[in-house]
Amino acid sequence: MEIQGIPIDDNFAEAFDMTATRLVITAAEATWAMRAAEAMTGFATSVIGCGIEAGIEASVDPSETPDGRPGVSVLAFSINQETLQKQLEKRIGQCVLTCPSTSVFAGLTSARPMLLGARIRYFGDGKQISKRIGSERYWRIPVMDGEFVCQECVYATKAVGGGNFLVLAKSIHGALHACQEAVEAIRKVPGCIAPFPGGVARSGSKVGSKYKSLKASTNDAYCPTLQDQTTSAIVDQATACLELVIDGLTPDSIAQAMRVGILAVCNRGKELGVVKITGGNYGGKLGRHHFYLHKVLS
């Protein structure tokens, strides 16, 4: 398969079951909601070392937020619900509670509640109060600019992490610009995020390492400096390989994000020196979700 002259490998991306949630952070002004979301999703690229994968999904219009203020929706993913809840408590407590004028609400519902405001309320030192609206309880915690409102529970749902595709290009500059095109397209797809810095990863990994303490190590097959030392997957003319990793609330959201991302790369691929697009996998032995590139694009 070729799209606008860019070869697409007959390969697949291997993804994994995860647990996820959506939060809606609001503030008096959109700028502060975004600042809180950016802080909360920092150091959240990979569960391998961060415990959580998180990112900004979209800005939310005041007409669609629970308190009628500007908002930002954030998606957070982890390997299980317990880890996800612990990470949320720390990140909301340290990055959103501390940010001027913010509040936090659940962005989805399910039968799997996770305590959030019920834990953070203790910062109020006994002066916090709660209010129930319908079936949900909200905590009002006094702070120096007024009060921090946080929903008592947010909700977990099944999700998928690790959808991906790799972009091989003649230069690092071409690879960067091609991947930026992909990230901008992916960010328009609801229900998914690209959690790495700027949405792009240069450190694709393989399972295991020569060092027993490491769960993952550099994907040497795609390291251009190791072509003479390993079984290389770097094609002729390519000097750089970058990876787009995508987490989604559903398999369909990941497939759609992969599709629009790959097409965005192909739209400018020739002029940017892209020589191939492929998928990252572990032979299908670890993740049960297999996104075949040709099928995603057909």
Among 3.10.105.10, 1.10.10.10, 3.30.70.520, 3.40.50.300, what is the CATH number of 18-157?
3.30.70.520
201-223: pLDDT as tens digits: 999 999 999 999 998 999 999 99
Same CATH fold assignment for domains 2-14+159-297 and 18-157: yes
Boundaries of every domain in the chain: 2-14+159-297, 18-157
Q: What is the CATH number of domain 2-14+159-297?
A: 3.30.70.520
Residue among 287, 276, 271 at smallest CA distance from 1: 276
Contact 54, 137 (CB under 8 A): no
- pTM value is 0.95
Q: What pLDDT score was predicted for residue 296? A: 97
Q: What pLDDT score was predicted for residue 132? A: 96
Q: How far apart are CA 283 and CA 288, in angstroms?
A: 11
Per-residue confidence band for 161, with pLDDT thresholds at 50, 70 and 90: very high
Q: How far apart are CA 22 and CA 207, in angstroms?
A: 29
Give the type of residue at 1. M
- CA angle at residue 288 from 222 to 208, to 5 degrees? 45
Mean pLDDT, the chain, integer: 97
Contact 243, 178 (CB under 8 A): no
Q: What pLDDT score was predicted for residue 286? A: 86
Q: What pLDDT score was predicted for residue 285? A: 84
104-148: pLDDT as tens digits: 999 999 999 999 999 999 999 999 999 999 999 999 999 999 999
